[in-house]
């Protein structure tokens, strides 16, 4: 191994190489193209850094930076920047100059960096293609091209970009492809752009996710979010990643976790690159412990202390399940992947686990007693119990012992310890039949500024109120829809928390405002939605042609249209053959 790289590994604490690192640096592969299948977290970034070193380093150190010698292409900006950080320390002793070309960053600054010269360029496919087409990068000296997470790049639709880049690079080069799996598309790409590639398959691929404990949790209907809170409290992981399928769910859970005292950040496609970078840095330096993310936003991110992955929404397929779970259990560390499964989703969860070829332990989620017991264990196992009293603490310790009894000290310590913890949730029995709703307790009435003229319906008002005010359906009493407004009754004991969650503006969603009433509304006997609307006898109703002629041509758009679900039917595709004369069938019938 090159001396400058071995020094860098020693400083980083490497005592031995991982399996994939040993495989790609084996004797005789210095000039070969490689097709490597290895899982994320197996050390492949350092692996391909070591593999291309004999190709791009003529001596122990790099010469002056000019046109790049190597291209590293990754599917996402987070992964590309992560690769850049890894190669920076690996090649630091060799005097490397690195440049990145990733979407979401200032392209003019990237062009200036490239003009000053770089030995290695780390890029995402789309942005690199832009630079090539604008002639802001010179590929004439490229000796090695690495495709990291090649299968993921093809899944994201970068096939044309990759083919364009590989065709633009010199033919006399090494091409290394790293992929978790090798489907047909990857095999075709390798056949077209590699020369007699050597296939390397590590045990990590054959026995994937061996360091991940899979748990499938049977959760009572509509108890999923409470179960997630208990999971976070039970494990108290240094870093936890909660996956959702939509941005709306990300925003909802982020708000709820923040209200419950968790240090939480969000990752979704609507955030800028700067916001995403700040969120990830907060996770890495300990300012945040929980990250709520969508699949697209979390692609390629690496959190070294990630111990827990929670699937708040089940993924769409088994590959996504493996990809999500693969964020933990990396580089020999243990991790937990927990699926939150309501009764109606049980079969889907079993299908996902079967397709991923992983076995999960089916159980109930931690309840309040389980969380409390785990807190007690952590308290007793705290290393502070065995540490000596420091001199600066002696005066305060002596004063406490003199003034309070051992029981008082223990109780006070326990209470202070508990104050820093979010209270666990009481969970329902997933297997029990839903209990009949009892008599609704004392309630407080509110008015909402939408009514029948705004197409208001209880079926979308109820979830909106619950979603915006962090309530359950059991906190909602009567809902009375009037022509211009709607009255809703909320359990008196839940009103303070409801109003605190909404904030001073008292907005449920876009344009929908709720107002506290000082007394119950006078509904009388006229609150029925169809009062006074008597249908005419059929023979008195206008014919269809007459109704069409007298129908209004311009419907007024409701000012609450953003919050009100659309009722429009999908438009049927136009018949391309409508009005065309059919061609005669000239085939003989013989």
513 closest CA partner among 522, 528, 500, 503: 503
148 & 246 share domain: no
161 & 290 share domain: no
259 & 308 share domain: yes
220 & 170 share domain: no
In contact, 231 and 368? CB cutoff 8 Å: no
Look at residue 25 and tell me if it is in a domain.
Answer: yes
363 & 490 share domain: no
The DSSP H or E segment spanning 264 is: strand 264-267
Q: Pick from 498, 516, 534: which residue ends a domain?
A: 516
Look at residue 378 and tell me if it is in a domain.
Answer: no
Measured CA to CA, the distance from residue 270 to residue 268 in angstroms comes to: 6
Look at residue 540 and tell me if it is in a domain.
Answer: no
Measured CA to CA, the distance from residue 80 to residue 73 in angstroms comes to: 7
Distinct helix (H) and strand (E) counts, the chain = 22, 19
* Strands 174-179 and 98-101, bridge-based pairing: unpaired
Look at residue 269 and tell me if it is in a domain.
Answer: yes
70 & 161 share domain: yes
CA geometry: angle at 329 spanning 147 and 270, to 5°?
A: 60
Look at residue 142 and tell me if it is in a domain.
Answer: yes
pTM across the whole model: 0.58
169 & 299 share domain: no
Q: Pick from 335, 370, 405: which residue ends a domain?
A: 370
180 & 50 share domain: yes
The end-to-end CA distance of the chain, in Å, is 79
Look at residue 352 and tell me if it is in a domain.
Answer: yes
194 & 319 share domain: no
In contact, 396 and 434? CB cutoff 8 Å: no
Q: Pick from 516, 540, 558: which residue ends a domain?
A: 516
In the chain, the number of structural domains is: 3
216 & 357 share domain: yes
166 & 291 share domain: no
Look at residue 329 and tell me if it is in a domain.
Answer: yes
96 closest CA partner among 125, 68, 72: 68
Measured CA to CA, the distance from residue 33 to residue 173 in angstroms comes to: 9
Q: Given CA atoms 166, 169, 172, 173 in this order, what sign does their dihedral have?
A: negative
Measured CA to CA, the distance from residue 392 to residue 390 in angstroms comes to: 6
Tally of CB atoms within 10 A around 457: 17
Per-residue pLDDT of the chain (590 residues; tens, 9 = 90+): 788 899 999 988 888 888 889 999 998 898 999 999 876 667 889 999 999 999 999 888 899 999 999 999 998 888 898 899 999 999 999 999 999 999 878 899 999 999 999 999 999 999 999 999 999 999 999 999 999 988 878 877 889 999 999 999 999 999 999 987 777 888 888 889 998 899 998 754 445 467 889 999 999 988 899 999 999 999 999 999 999 998 889 988 999 999 888 999 998 877 877 788 888 889 988 899 999 999 876 666 777 788 999 999 999 888 889 888 888 877 667 899 999 999 999 999 999 999 888 999 999 999 999 999 998 888 888 888 888 888 888 999 999 999 999 999 888 888 887 777 778 888 877 766 555 666 788 899 999 999 989 888 888 888 889 888 888 888 899 999 999 999 999 999 889 889 888 888 888 876 789 999 999 998 765 444 444 444 455 445 555 444 444 444 444 555 566 566 655 555 555 555 555 555 545 444 44
Domain interval for residue 454: 443-516
What's the token pair of residue 428?
């329902």
Look at residue 384 and tell me if it is in a domain.
Answer: no
436: DSSP letter = P
100: DSSP letter = E
CATH number at residue 506: 3.30.70.330
24 closest CA partner among 57, 55, 49: 49
What's the burial of 206, exposed, middle or buried (CB within 10 Å: 0-12/13-18/19+)?
exposed
189 & 284 share domain: no
Measured CA to CA, the distance from residue 359 to residue 215 in angstroms comes to: 9
CATH number at residue 290: 3.40.50.300
In the sheet where 486-491 sits, what is the strand order?
Answer: 476-481, 486-491, 443-448, 512-516, 507-509
């Amino acid at each position: 191994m090159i001396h400058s790289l071995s020094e860098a590994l020693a400083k980083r604490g490497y005592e031995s190489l991982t399996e994939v690192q040993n495989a790609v640096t084996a004797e005789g592969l210095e000039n070969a193209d490689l097709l490597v299948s290895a899982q994320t977290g197996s050390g492949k970034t350092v692996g391909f850094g070591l593999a291309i070193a004999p190709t791009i380093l003529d001596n122990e150190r790099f010469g002056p930076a000019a046109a790049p010698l190597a291209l590293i292409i990754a599917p996402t900006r987070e992964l590309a920047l992560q690769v850049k950080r890894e190669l920076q320390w690996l090649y630091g002793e060799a005097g490397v100059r690195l440049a990145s070309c990733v979407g979401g960053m200032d392209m003019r600054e990237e062009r200036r960096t490239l003009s000053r010269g770089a030995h290695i360029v780390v890029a995402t496919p789309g942005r690199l293609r832009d630079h090539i087409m604008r002639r802001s990068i010179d590929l004439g000296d490229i000796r090695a091209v690495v495709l990291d997470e090649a299968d993921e790049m093809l899944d994201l639709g970068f096939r044309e970009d990759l083919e364009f880049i590989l065709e633009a690079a010199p033919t006399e080069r090494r091409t290394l492809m790293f992929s978790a799996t090798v489907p047909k598309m990857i095999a075709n790409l390798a056949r077209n752009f590699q020369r007699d590639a050597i296939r390397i398959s590590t045990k990590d691929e054959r026995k994937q996710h061996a360091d991940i404990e899979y748990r499938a949790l049977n959760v009572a209907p509509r108890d999923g979010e409470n179960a997630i809170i208990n999971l976070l409290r039970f494990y108290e992981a240094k870093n936890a990643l909660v996956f959702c399928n939509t941005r709306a769910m990300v925003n909802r859970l982020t708000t709820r976790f923040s209200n419950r005292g968790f240090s939480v950040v969000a990752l979704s496609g609507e955030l800028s690159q700067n916001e995403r970078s700040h969120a990830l840095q907060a996770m890495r330096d300990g300012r945040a412990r929980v990250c709520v993310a969508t699949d697209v936003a979390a692609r390629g991110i690496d959190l070294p202390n990630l111990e827990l992955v929670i699937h708040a929404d089940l993924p769409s397929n088994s590959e996504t399940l493996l990809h999500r779970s693969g964020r933990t259990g990396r580089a020999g560390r243990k991790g937990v992947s927990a699926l939150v499964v309501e009764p109606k989703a049980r079969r889907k969860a079993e299908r996902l686990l079967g397709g991923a070829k992983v076995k999960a332990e089916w159980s109930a989620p931690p309840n309040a007693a389980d969380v409390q017991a785990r807190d007690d264990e952590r308290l007793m196992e705290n290393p502070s119990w065995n540490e000596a009293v420091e001199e600066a603490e002696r005066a305060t310790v002596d004063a406490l012992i003199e003034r309070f009894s051992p029981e008082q000290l223990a109780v006070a310590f326990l209470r202070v310890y508990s104050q820093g913890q979010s209270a666990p949730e009481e969970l329902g029995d997933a297997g029990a039949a839903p209990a009949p709703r009892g008599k609704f307790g004392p309630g407080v009435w509110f008015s909402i500024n939408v009514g029948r003229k705004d197409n208001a319906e209880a079926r979308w008002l109820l979830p909106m109120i619950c979603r915006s005010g962090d309530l359950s359906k059991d906190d909602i009493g009567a809902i009375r829809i009037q022509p211009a407004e709607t009255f809703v009754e909320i359990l008196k004991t839940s009103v303070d928390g409801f109003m605190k969650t909404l904030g001073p503006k008292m907005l449920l969603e876009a344009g929908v405002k709720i107002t506290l009433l000082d007394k119950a509304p006078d509904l009388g006997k006229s609150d029925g939605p169809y009062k006074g609307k008597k249908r005419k006898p059929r023979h008195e109703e206008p014919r269809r042609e007459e109704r069409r002629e007298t129908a209004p041509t311009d419907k007024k758009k409701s000012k609450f249209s953003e919050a009100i679900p659309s009722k429009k039917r999908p438009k049927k595709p136009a018949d391309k053959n409508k009005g065309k004369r059919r061609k005669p069938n000239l085939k003989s019938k013989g």
